Each structure stands twice: as structure tokens, then as C-alpha cells.
Structure 1
Amino acid sequence: MTEMQRASKHTWLRLVRRLLGLIPRWLLAAAALSLATACTTGSNDLVPRKDMVGAPISAVGHYGSMIGVPEFYLNGRSGGTASGWGGGGATVCCMLLPRKVTGPVMVKVNWTTCDISDIKFVNGRAVDPSQKCKEEEHEETVPVNFAVQPGEGGSGLFVHFLPGNHVEVWYSTRFPEASGYPGPVFPRGPAPDYAPLPDKTPQRDTSSK
């Protein structure tokens, strides 16, 4: 990738994140639910195999304020981008899952992290505009955690980017920010720096599901 292409990609990502920040979270959640319904009950053009369902892909960042995910892929399919802290609203359609899960379903996750901890900012702007974030490539193959059978409905496939550069993938009827979500607890409050990344066990919601 040339420097011009890299600069264009980062400019585009900043614009997308700014636009997403203007959309109320309830509207993003409603759009995600609509997309999930369309995928799981969609036409034969979307899901031609009757033993499979389509699941929209969404991501949640647990990295903090200094590290984001400009791109990630599930089994080679683009999942979009992920904020370093929170997320879960924007979705990409779709990944095929078995309607009835009878054994482990593994996915290969490839993602890029963008670390801005070495960049000096004043009033939210980089002192040196030419300075770029430190990018690293990562790969991990993990099982999908199913809180419900895909054929029985669900809100989508949620990819969690965790400290230590690990991932967890969940299929659930609940959204990550909802009470009782079975996966890692949704990041809330001011984002920590988390750079360099610590390796720690994610928190779980212990409330009734």
C-alpha cells in the first residue's frame, strides 16, 4: 500500500467514525436488529442453503483510547472497523452459520491494530500531522460461542477485540451493551490508554441471563 493510499484510508476511516458518532446508539441498535432479521430470514439470494443462516457482523473494542482496529476479517470476509473502546452498533452483512450447531464452529480472525500512543496531540490534533500510527497485523482462530442456535434467531455475530491482542466471537440474542449479555462486559466510561496492551482476563456479566 502506497503512502497516498494509506493516508486516504485513514482519512476515510476518520470520516466514517465521525459520522457514526452523530447517530444515536438506539438508532444503530435498531438498524442492527433490522439487518439481523433480514439476514436470518432473508431471501434465497442472501442465504441459498436452507441449513444455513446469515449473521450480521459487529465489533466491540476493549483496547482503550490509544489503539483502534482499522480493519478486520472473519474467514477472509471483511467485518469493517472497530473502535478501540466500545462499539457494537455498526454492522456488516453477513457471515453464514449453520442453522443448528452440533459441534465447534471455528473462525479465523485477521485484524490490524493502529497504536497512536507515540503521537503527541494538542487540543485533539496531532502536533506532527505527518506522523502515522503504528500498525500491527494479528491472526487468531477461535470458536464461535453460541448463546442460542442461529436457526432460533439472534442479534448477530459480535467480535470482541481484547487486551493482549486476543479475540472472542459470540452469537447472542442480546447486544453487547445489554444486561445479561453472555460475552465480555461492554466497555463503559472514560477509555483507559492501554498502550502497550496488558494481557488480562475480560470481565463477565454475572447478572441473570
Structure 2
Amino acid sequence: MSSTLNSGWPRRAPVLLAAGVFACLALQACNQSIPDRLGAPIEGYSHTSAAINYFMVNGNGGPNIGPFGGGGSQTCCVILPRKWHPGLTVVVEWEKDPMPHAYGDWPERRFSDAWSKRMDEHETKYTRHRAVVEVAPYEELGVIDVHFLPCDQVAVSAVAATPGQVGYPFNYPSKMEVPSVCPAP
């Protein structure tokens, strides 16, 4: 009788092992917790007469933004904690065109060699910036809103509300003038 038990065991071992692994995985699936960090879409707002040719938050790209414009166009994504905590920051990098409508007054035919040469010259006036920015407090993670303000200042929100709604942390006018003297960084 012992030889029968011993001869049956090796054939059943893979089945029993697979059943045990399956049971562990099934129990683990029931116990999965909500992740501590989530991906949130990015959008931006330019409150100045400059265009934002591109911007990035923690290395992830946001949409380009025209002067005094933005919102409504989202790209994906920045990973942030589900719950805000003091000292939460992001790195914002951007390229700014201080004269985005200049080429509209050029006499050259668009995309001609002369126009392209002038455009190359115009692009030398673009400026690039980088800022470490505190994220405004949020109860529930929403869209990452990057506000480009005069004097190359930036504000970042991640609340589950849109500008103008109750609970939105900023109330910037859509059009802001650059002061004659900018505050020191």
C-alpha cells in the first residue's frame, strides 16, 4: 500500500502545487490595496502675452499654449501621490516665445527661404526656463494645471476642480501684465 501512495504522489505534486499557487494569487488579488501614487493628466495656462512653445512637468510633456490661453488640451501624465503632503514639489521646464505674433507682420512669403531665415533669427529670442514649484494642497488628485505668470513665475495645482470652480486654489486673471520690475527669484 505504501508503494501505491508513493507512486501517486509525484504525479499529483504539480497539480497540488499549481492549486496552491492559484489560491495564493486569488487571495492576494482580493487584498490588493489602492496605489499610493496615480498618474494625472497635464494642462497649462499662459496668463501673459508670451506663447509657451512646450513645457514639461517632471519630464512629462504638456501641450503648447498660446498667449493668454490654455486649458482644455491635456497630455498624459505626471505621477503624484493620491494624497497631498507638505513639501510636495514638481519640476517645470518650458520654452517661451516672447513675441509669438511677430511673423504675422513679416513681408516675406510664408515658408519661403527668406521667411525661414527670419524665423531662425526669431527663434534665437526664445527663452528656456526651469523651476521647482510647490504643488497647491489637494484633497483629491485631479488634473495637473500649470499656470505661467509674469516674470517667469509658475504656479501648479492638482485639485479635482477647474479654474473658476469652488475649491480651486488660484484666481489669476487670464490676462496679466508684466510689471516694470520683476521680483527677484
Residue deviations 1:5-24 (CA, integer Å, cap 9, x gap): xxxxxxxxxxxxxxxxxxxx
Q: Secondary structure at the match of 2:130?
A: strand
Q: Secondary structure at the match of 2:90?
A: strand
**Matches for 1:65-76 after TM superposition, within 5 Å:** 67-76=50-59
Q: CA deviation at 1:181?
A: 3.0
Question: Which residue pairs with 2:162 in the alignment?
Answer: 175
Question: Would you say the 8 A contact 2:84–2:139 is kept in 1?
Answer: no
Structure 2 unaligned blocks of 5 or more: 1-33, 109-114
Q: Secondary structure at the match of 1:164?
A: helix
Question: Which residue pairs with 2:148 in the alignment?
Answer: 161
Question: Aligned partners of 1:98 and 1:118: how far apart in 2?
Answer: 39
Percent same amino acid among aligned pairs? 30
Residue deviations 1:87-116 (CA, integer Å, cap 9, x gap): 111001111111122332111111000122
Candidates 87, 92, 101, aligned match of 2:75: 92
Question: Would you say the 8 A contact 2:83–2:138 is kept in 1?
Answer: no
Candidates 37, 60, 63, aligned match of 1:77: 60
Question: Would you say the 8 A contact 2:47–2:67 is kept in 1?
Answer: yes
- TM normalised by structure 1 equals 0.57
**Which of these two proteins has the greater Rg computed from alpha carbons?**
2
Question: Is 1:147 aligned with 2:147?
Answer: no
Q: Which structure dedicates a bigger proportion of its chain to helix? A: 2
- TM normalised by structure 2 equals 0.64
Structure 1 unaligned blocks of 5 or more: 1-48, 202-209
Q: CA deviation at 1:169?
A: 0.3
Question: Would you say the 8 A contact 2:85–2:137 is kept in 1?
Answer: no
Q: CA deviation at 1:171?
A: 1.3
Question: Which residue pairs with 2:102 in the alignment?
Answer: 119
Question: Is 1:63 aligned with 2:54?
Answer: no
Alignment root-mean-square deviation, CA: 2.8
Candidates 93, 109, 119, aligned match of 2:92: 109
Residue deviations 1:108-153 (CA, integer Å, cap 9, x gap): 111000122793644xxx3343433320111111111123232xxx
Question: Aligned partners of 1:118 and 1:84: how far apart in 2?
Answer: 9
Question: Aligned partners of 1:185 and 1:137: how far apart in 2?
Answer: 23
Q: CA deviation at 1:185?
A: 2.2
Residue deviations 1:44-66 (CA, integer Å, cap 9, x gap): xxxxx8111111100000112xx
Question: Aligned partners of 1:61 and 1:100: how far apart in 2?
Answer: 27
